[in-house]
Amino acid sequence: MGSLAATGQPAYWEGFGPLVPGFTHVAYGDLDALSQALGPATAAVILEPILGNAGVVVPPPGYFQAVRQRCDQAGCLLIVDEVQTGVGRTGKWFAINTKASSRTS
């Protein structure tokens, strides 16, 4: 139930409520929204390095580096969801190590 509550896709929630409380969803790539969502009660940020169900959506340049910094400042974990992109599917063992996820410009 925790992973179901973590997904930002409401279509998967139907018929499974009530969901585990405490999850906040923000738009992918929106650092301002992420910064506003982080607080003293934030345990972790969970992100996919490349969105798969929405098409192939790569993060904006420098996004993961900025998210890492914000998580460090907030004292929370950064969890990278590699279910669809890991195990060599992007040419690297983990997609977080690809240029698409780590590019800075």
Residue-wise pLDDT for 67-102, tens only, equals 999 999 999 999 988 767 767 677 777 777 766 555
Residue-wise pLDDT for 52-68, tens only, equals 776 788 888 889 899 99
Backbone angles phi, psi at 51, to 5 degrees: -70, 135
Residue 5: the pLDDT is 85
* Composition of the chain by helix, strand, coil, percent to 5: 30, 10, 55
Share the mean pLDDT of the chain: 83
Contact 23, 4 (CB under 8 A): no
**Confidence (pTM):** 0.80
% of the chain exceeding 90 in pLDDT: 34
